[in-house]
Amino acid sequence: MKILLIYTGGTIGMIHDSQSGSYIPFDFENLQEQIPELSQLDCELEVISFDKSIDSSNMHPKIWTQLGKTIEDNYLKYDGFVILHGSDTMAYTSSALSFILENLNKPVILTGSQLPSGVPRTDAKENLITAIEIAASTKDGKPEVPEVAVYFEYQLYRGNRTHKVNAEHFEAFESVNYPALAEAGVHIKFNRRYTQNLSEEKLIVHKEFNDNIGVLKLFPGITESTVNAVLSAPKIEAIILETFGSGNAPTCEWFLAAIKKATVKGIIILNVSQCQGGSVELGRYETSRALKDMGVLSAFDMTFEAALTKLMFVLEYSKDTDRRIQLITSNLQGELSS
């Protein structure tokens, strides 16, 4: 098995520099010197590093498409891919890649760490080794996980179902609305009933995103001027409306009038719950029935990260409003429950 390791940046690629006293990126060309256990894995490993290490806070759709292009260029040469990435925006990147890589039938595993590689108690070594092992795992000659996934601290999650929940614990990620794809202990146990089916179609790599999107997070006491400022921002084509509970929002006249004005203008509004678990159910309560009547769309049980990247993908994929609505509310890559 041949695995391509793609280093974008992040804590996992850092070591302590004794002269400066700070953490600096190490040379991934000498990866096995840092982690000699890699030589015991039953796969051939090659490494590509971004020219400039990227802090995950600086992640951008252009970098997502760069990653997609890198996988496309090397798709026939390797059996799987492991992407090293800063944890802060990993869930955004994994969600975006799930839409970029249409008809994917090879593993693309993202991982990182909470502590740098060269410090005691680091989680970097285990995360990296296991991510590579997962990317190289097959059953009956077929990959165990033919999709984009995130591996962190003994758990493998679907990439577009993942959310970072903790900045200090090694268990930094959760997938509240979808089961783990695998669990790593003494053995790696794959939950095959939850992984994507192999695609028989040729890989299609999408290379553009439309980021004309606004986010309106509701809170008790939100003002009319705040709502209007977001809804009337220039060039906005879609809004993520972060609502309460199962999709509920204020019912005061000025708020509903602002939402209706935006939808009449053709702005797509996608209702995403502020809750990590559960689903948006428009019309279940009176506080969401008006939104449904005005054409606000339900994100169902999508994460915020999946909803955002899906909107960016769909807005670029089609300019037809009806087609956009159909795609947004459909399950494209396992990002929502059918």
Please give the positions annotated as active site. 11
Q: What is the pLDDT along the chain (338 residues), one digit of tens a residue?
A: 999 999 998 877 777 666 776 666 666 666 666 777 888 888 999 999 888 888 889 999 999 999 999 999 999 999 999 999 999 999 999 999 999 999 999 999 999 988 877 677 888 889 999 999 999 999 999 999 999 999 999 999 999 999 999 988 888 899 999 999 999 999 999 999 999 999 989 999 999 999 999 999 999 999 999 999 999 999 999 999 999 999 999 999 999 999 999 999 999 999 999 999 999 999 888 878 999 999 999 999 999 999 999 999 999 999 999 999 999 999 999 999 97
What topology does CATH give the domain 2-205?
Answer: Rossmann fold (3.40.50)
CATH of 213-328, one of 3.40.50.1980, 3.40.50.40, 3.20.20.70, 2.40.10.10: 3.40.50.40
Q: Would you state the pLDDT for residue 80?
A: 98
CA distance 19 to 3: 34
Q: What residue spans define the domains of the chain?
A: 2-205, 213-328
Q: Would you state the pLDDT for residue 308?
A: 98
Q: Would you state the pLDDT for residue 170?
A: 84
Is this prediction's pTM over 0.75?
yes
